Chain A
Amino acid sequence: MSTAREIAEAVRSGGRSAREVVDESLAAIAARNGELNAFLTVTADDARAAADDIDRRVAAGEDPGPLAGVPVALKDNLCTRGIPTTCSSRILEGWQPPYDATVVARLAAAGAVAVGKTNLDEFAMGSSTENSAFGSTRNPHDPAKVPGGSSGGSTAAVAAGLCPVGLGSDTGGSIRQPAALCGAVGLKPTYGRVSRFGLVAFASSLDQIGPITATVADAATVLEAIAGHDPLDSTSIPEPVPDLVEGLDQGIEGLRIGVLRELLDADGVASDVKARTTEAIDALDAAGAKVEEASVPATVYGLSAYYVIAPAEASSNLARYDGVRYGLRVDAPTSAEMNEATRTDGFGPEVKRRIMLGTYALSAGYYDAYYGKAQKVRTLIIRDFDAAYDTFDLLVAPTSPTTAFDLGAKTADPLTMYLNDVCTIPSNLAGHPAISVPFGTGDDGLPVGVQVLAPALAEPTMLRAAAVLEAAAPRGAGGLRGRGPQGTAP
């Protein structure tokens, strides 16, 4: 599959029809989805109609936009008008939203064509896409392995070459960690950069939508298309969006880049991941950056703070699934019994676990000890990042402590699963942008991702460093560049 930028250029110039591109993507999905379970819904008819419309506009001399004819996969927690949006939960099975998420509308306005809705951990709670009511997604590099999560469906779709762009959401690493495990590029923007209107809420102060792509330039192009102020999201940043694609190849000469010691040395970071991260750091140094060790001490408390704050917000957000306005209802004689029966049948075990954890952390007698404390730790993490960014322009760290693990390996022990997020969580707590770029493979031959972290609103600088890492990454292994159709080696 060509990159999004190649497709858009060919479609805008009349060199290729959007219909041909979309048909190719739909054929690839039909061929591979049975094995991968990346898509829960494929919107083939709507996609063909949208592609035909783009071709008519090109023929009429119009420009359909910077993503003209580009097939995109939408994580199934993004609302799509009249198209099922399940969050991989029984409680929303069959629900058809009455409106589109802002990102869905913006992608369409940029000429992109949605080809379907992708699998996720139920309500985006998980790191392996195994917590789905509709079955696990598999890693295209090895179907016995997880693709990571929670945006595992969108990421597997991109990594398998089924479409060049996926949208995910990232609350504690749910874009970056699957990108690392599947050899894709995954970008979590600054909190508020992209509207959350129409993103089904998990933890509202942490959730952010972002692109999953095969190249850094595609991630920048998609982010430009979806970012920007939205009056429908009161947490949307009112600043204009800077140009992200121009300047992508300016290099990093003279930039001060810190190696985030607490994350590189975090418990559980495997030696092969550490080795690739160190090689990536050397590549940044060779490209002219001033690289030094950096410390953000409070990040060691990130996991603890996150697994109080995110469940607390989730317990409140998921109170809306009560069998009254939409979704599942399990009949019972009284409203209270109906609420309980609906939620008991509709939610899977991980969602129940987090709702209870959050309810406990917010309950009388425990609020100060858990939630109040975690919010203060969040302040400490932000302060320590601010101090580091007095000295450094960017920070570098591993994305995931390990390469992709076996399906089922971590499902019995939730805490073991949570530890996957140790390197990605700090950026969510701080509201900062971060990107995972493929950088070679681990001892098992599976992709490794390296993370570039930046202060709020510094996506342009972050993307420049990501482009340098992409160019320096070992060829023919891990990443998707230079691969043939459907993610197979050429």
Chain B
Amino acid sequence: MPRISRDDVAHVAHLARLRLSDEELERFTDQLGAVLEHAADIEALDIDDVPPTSHPYPLANVMRDDEVRPSLDRDEALAAAPDVEDHRFKVPPVLGEPP
């Protein structure tokens, strides 16, 4: 039984906003299956009681002083955008029919 099906890969590609050709879908299904198969060694470990580590160094709730200070200029922040209108990022329609 393969670890990941072609349908799974197609679903994951959609979630990740990637379009795959049939050939890519085939290849990625095999390759992702091989990596997940390798990871099967940790699946077998009985470690329910072990706490997870998300971050290697114990720092928590790092705050800065609540003071006004300079930040990136708006025009600079917009300068690299593909499309801008009225000092805002402009995108194609999100809802409804395209114009």
Contact = CB atoms under 8 A, between A and B. Distances in A.
A225 B89 CA distance: 38
Interface residues of B, number: 52
Given A334-B98, A359-B15, A374 B42 contact: yes
A370 B4 contact: no
A98 B77 contact: yes
A359 B16 contact: yes
Interface residues of A, number: 73
A336 B91 CA distance: 10
B53 A382 contact: yes
A191 B57 contact: yes
A245 interface: no
Contacts of B19: 340-341, 344
A340 B18 contact: yes
A275 interface: no
B77 to A, nearest CB: 7
Contact of A301 (B45, B57, B79, B93): B45
Contacts of A301: 41-42, 45
Contacts of B59: 192, 234-235, 237-238
A308 to B, nearest CB: 6
A132 B26 CA distance: 23
Interface of A: 95-96, 98-99, 190-192, 205, 231, 234-235, 237-238, 300-301, 303-305, 307-308, 315, 322-329, 331-341, 343-344, 347, 349, 352-353, 355-357, 359-360, 363, 369-370, 372-380, 382, 413-415, 418, 429-432, 456
Interface of B: 4, 8-9, 12-13, 15-20, 24, 28, 31-32, 34-36, 38-43, 45, 47, 50-57, 59, 62, 64, 72-73, 76-77, 79-83, 89, 91-94, 98
Q: Which 7 A-B pairs have the closest CB atoms?
A: A431-B56, A375-B52, A329-B82, A333-B98, A326-B80, A234-B62, A378-B53
19 contacts: A95-B80, A98-B73, A191-B56, A205-B54, A205-B56, A235-B55, A301-B45, A324-B89, A349-B24, A352-B28, A356-B13, A360-B8, A373-B45, A376-B50, A376-B52, A379-B52, A379-B53, A413-B31, A415-B34
